[in-house]
Amino acid sequence: MSSVVAFGLQWGDEGKGKVIDLLSRDADVVVRYQGGANAGHTIVVGDEKIVLHLVPSGMLHPRTTCIVGNGVVVDPAVLVAEVEELRRLGHMKDERQLKVSAFAHLIMPYHKRMDMLREAAASGKKIGTTGRGIGPAYEDKASRSGIRVIDLLDKKVFSEKVRENLKVKNFLIKRYYKGEPLKIRDVIKEYTSYRKLLKKYVADTPAVIQESIRKKKKILFEGAQGTYLDIDHGTYPYVTSSNTVAGNAAGGSGVGPSSVGYVLGVSKAYTTRVGEGPFPTELHGPECELIRQRGGEFGATTGRPRRCGWFDAVIAQRAVALNGVHGLAIMKLDVLDAFETIPVCVGYRAGKKVTSQPPLTLKGWASVEPVYEELPGWKRNTNGISRFEELPVNAQKYVRRLEELAGVPVDIISTGPERDHTIVLRNPFDLKG
């Protein structure tokens, strides 16, 4: 396939960074198409651990062009810090490797202030936001009052937009939330310092991608968060503020849907979630802590401990159908090495009925109980295995059962954090179509 979308099937944190880094070896262009700095992709290369929030994970491959698409909300402070860190570590030696969409919207200081004040005022109805200003930035985008990257390059336009927006934002911050208002000159001064750096990377990214398609280059579209954090299809309101599904790879990048050839859904061999919201297979106690410690289940962006639970085939089946998935990447299989038996959720019980469909309401999510199928564990070390036939028989059976439940083949299996701790059954870029 000449174009591949890699995205999360669960509630984010599935291990997309490693998969994207792996596939980037074959990609000419990697495009991040939605989200902001609330998403962290962790990549381990030898003794080096790199967490990227905005720069596409393909940046670790010097021949790859990396694009921050129009569907992303960009925090310039984070982008500057990431560029500097990548350079310090010996990456991104060619500045032409990074391109930022002129149409991407900026996260402003008042977005972060509003985000934190709103969450603090939410009392018992907290969403679990990271406080990075993502939601308020997308709100301004939808209300047509947002500031785009291209606006920052015009001093007059940028200053006028900041002044206009702060009239409303400061009113809310001061009068409603009883917070400290922002000073116009401070905001303008801070963002003026980012202008010089961003100017190097701003581009008409849809044109760049479309030209790459015409030249038959290999393109990887990189998603952030996961399917069930999608603003339309997730466990609303406990979701992010953008469309995380594979279908948004086109809109968030500026290409037609026919440009997407293969869809790879990334899922852990179990399930995790950060923040509030429904989670039917969530564990509490020793089993949860064992998964958390073995899997290093702490947020790449916030450091918050992740909620952990067993694999949920109900949400996997819906996500596969919703995104038109062609194949799966199953991550962190080795984390389950310690378990004698491994339950897999194959349905939800609601009263006397068992269903294979996710609920439509929060009340419905709260009332369902997972129906488990017990699978035998393998109690052997799988860390670092790179050939499927070398996995313990029960580990092979576990993978094949997940494949049956999801209804699509497993193409990639991760058995550890390192690049070579991976079993590649099918490389999406090698498939014909």
Catalytic residues: 13, 41
- State whether residue 349 is helix, strand or coil: strand
CA angle 366, 292, 58 (to 5 degrees): 100
Beta strands at 271-273 and 311-312: parallel, antiparallel or unpaired: unpaired
Residue reference for tokens 């297979």: 281
In the chain, DSSP finds a helix count (H) and a strand count (E) of: 13, 20
Q: Is 174 left (phi over 0), alpha (psi -120 to 50) or beta?
A: alpha
Closest listed residue to residue 76, CA positions, set 219, 193, 227:
193
CB 302 within 8 A of CB 274: yes
CB 329 within 8 A of CB 263: no
- State whether residue 360 is helix, strand or coil: coil
The DSSP code for 230 is -
User: Facing residues of 424 across strands?
Assistant: 412
Q: What are phi and psi of 394, to 5 degrees?
A: -70, -30
The DSSP code for 226 is -
Return d(Cα 251, Cα 271) in angstroms, integer.
Answer: 28
C-alpha Rg value of the chain to the nearest Å: 22
Closest listed residue to residue 77, CA positions, set 132, 116, 114:
132
Residue reference for tokens 């208002």: 181
